[in-house]
Structure 1
Amino acid sequence: MPSQPVSGNAQTVISLHQAQFATPAEQINVLIDEALTWPASNLGCSDNGGIGRAVLTPGFRVVLEVAGVRYAYHAGRDAQFFLCNTPD
């Protein structure tokens, strides 16, 4: 079965993950790759400034899975992704 094409955002997140965890690309699965509107300024992540201001914030989410462990990367409109340890 041919593999699905990977978006630019997913490729960015895969590169970030590889740099932080030294994970080979073939062990990384992209589960979620989406544009969305976050309900608050914390971009859906409690460890990114608490609960955040209730303001609709456009952004992105990419969720990876490596060896059964999920890693959620969030970003605002600027597509500056960060690992969210505590997704809301």
Structure 2
Amino acid sequence: MITADVSNNQDTQQSFAYLTQVKDENQIVISLSWLTGSLSPRQSFSPAQSWTSTEPGMYTIEVFVWKGIDNPEALSAPLSMTVKVIDPPT
């Protein structure tokens, strides 16, 4: 599961799109998923997106929080991490 904490630190309702992107060693996007929602003032949420590698290798996972799926204005800085898959499940 790819998860991150999302918080609305404002005094107003905030709609958002939470996107996860996985790239392979060649920086080719192999997985892209998203969910949309809305947070009340001072509300927090820990969305999770599922991803399972089918091949060993190095992968870059990126998380974005935008105003909307059709409005890529960032609500926060993107998060990024690299993971090494040695023996994926069969």
Pairwise TM-score range, normalised by the shorter structure: 0.3 to 0.5
More helix by share: 1
Task: Please say which structure displays the higher CA radius of gyration.
Answer: 2
The normalised TM-score by structure 1 is 0.32
The normalised TM-score by structure 2 is 0.32
Structure with bigger RCO (C-alpha 8 Å, 6+ apart): 2
